[in-house]
Every structure is written in structure tokens, then in C-alpha cells.
Chain A
Amino acid sequence: EIVMTQSPATLSVSPGERATLSCRASQSVSSNLAWYQQKPGQAPRLLIYGASTRATGIPARFSGSGSGTEFTLTISSLQSEDFAVYYCQQYNNWPPLYTFGQGTKLEIK
């Protein structure tokens, strides 16, 4: 099983500043990596897939990068609605055996 490790567990950032979230895979997942945002009481929302492709309707301030085992989600200028928990997910296995990271909580500083 591919283990996904996110860091940090909690990130405190002020509105308007940049946030950088990291995700590491225990073995290469190529570019088969997605990022999700989840707010309390809501379902996850797909932000990025293919490591760097923004999903439909996702603002340009969200960007993803990386390949292999190291990935980054960057939010260029934090808005109040961006404070949430973020999960990475790999979907490189075949047969499918998707695994998620444990999440990074992005909180207001």
C-alpha cells in the first residue's frame, strides 16, 4: 500500500498571504495525485488532479505541482473561505487502491 504523508498537520496563515501544503508518497505515484478541500460538515471538494490540473470552477489562486513522490498545493493569496482541511490522494495503483493523506488543517493566524 502506498502511504501518503502530509505536512504540516496544521498550518496557520494570515488572510492574503501564501500557503504551501506538502504531500509525500512512500513510492512514486507519477502525476496521479489529487488535492481536496473539506470544510466542517461538508463533503470533500476536488481542487487539483493530475498533480497540477485545476478542477472545474476552482479559482486560479489554487495551484498544484510535483511528480513522483513529492507534491505541493499552493494557495497564492488566502481568502477567508479557504480555511479548511486539505487532503491529498494518490490514484496510481492498478488495480485501484486509492489512499489519502491524513490531512492538513489550514487555520487563520
Chain B
Amino acid sequence: EVQLVESGGGLVKPGGSLRLSCAASGFTFSSYSMNWVRQAPGKGLEWVSSISSSSSYIYYADSVKGRFTISRDNAKNSLYLQMNSLRAEDTAVYYCARDVEMATLGNAFDIWGQGTMVTVSS
């Protein structure tokens, strides 16, 4: 079964850090670009970051640029999001998601994890 499972969410104080992980299974992880998308409570979807299959290309939304770092370990079938200098407005469910086609970047997202909640509050 094709699956993405996020972990690492929790409660953190403003200015703090958190590292999210996304474990992939059931497909050739190293062939796909991967993405992080977040959803604040009761709000819509916001793209956060994307990384190409070989990590050669990395992109961020302006709202997180300079604070968040996306990375991946193809040997471990894992995607990561290091979040620093967290703010209250970063509070959201964070989803990892796979590009719908192999070996491309800039596409729709066909497989999503169940999400992990990040709460930034003092």
C-alpha cells in the first residue's frame, strides 16, 4: 500500500524549533518530488515547500523562507521539515504529499499523509 506517515508535531513556544518527519512506503520514494502543505485550524490549504527527487531543487513559500528547511533521505525513504523561529501563525496541521508523476517537479499532489499538528503557543 502506498503510504505517507508524518510525525514530530507538538506544542512549541514562539521562537522554538521542531523537526517533522514523513515516512514513505509502498512506492519508489527516490523517484518522486515531495512537498509539505499546511492547514491552519478551520482554514484552507497553504503550500509550504517542495524538494525534487534528488534534492537538487528546493523551494519555499515566502512565509517560511529563511526559517524552514526541507530535506530528504532516499536511503531511509524519509522526508523532513526543520522548522525554526516558529511563530503563532505557523500553527497548523502539516501534511507531506507526493507529486502525481515521477521525475517531475511542479505538479499536483496525489498521495497525502494523515498530517501532524504543530501548535505554537506560550
| Residues of A near any B CB (own CB < 8 A) | 32, 34, 36, 38, 42-46, 49-50, 55-56, 87, 89, 91, 93-103
Q: How far is the CA of A96 from the CA of B97 in the complex (A)?
A: 15
B44 touches A43 (CB 8 A): no
Whether B45 pairs with A43 at a CB distance below 8 angstroms is no
Binding site for A on B (CB under 8 A): 35, 37, 44-47, 50, 57, 59, 61, 95, 100, 105-110, 112-115
From A36, A38, A96, A103, name the one whose CB has the most chain B CB atoms within 10 angstroms. A96
Pick the contact of A101: B37, B44, B109 (CB < 8 A).
Answer: B44
Which residues of A lie under 8 Å from residue B59 when comparing CB positions? Answer: 95-97
Q: Is the CB of A100 within 8 A of B46?
A: yes
Whether A87 pairs with B110 at a CB distance below 8 angstroms is no
Contact indicator A44/B45 (Cβ below 8 Å): yes
Are B45 and A100 in contact, with the CB atoms below 8 A? yes
B105 touches A43 (CB 8 A): no
Q: Quick one: which of A43, A55, A87 contacts B95, CB cutoff 8 A?
A: A43
Given contacts A43-B114, A87-B44, A98-B35, 14 further A-B pairs with CB under 8 A are A43-B112, A43-B115, A44-B45, A45-B112, A49-B108, A55-B100, A55-B108, A55-B110, A56-B110, A91-B106, A94-B106, A96-B50, A97-B59, A100-B45
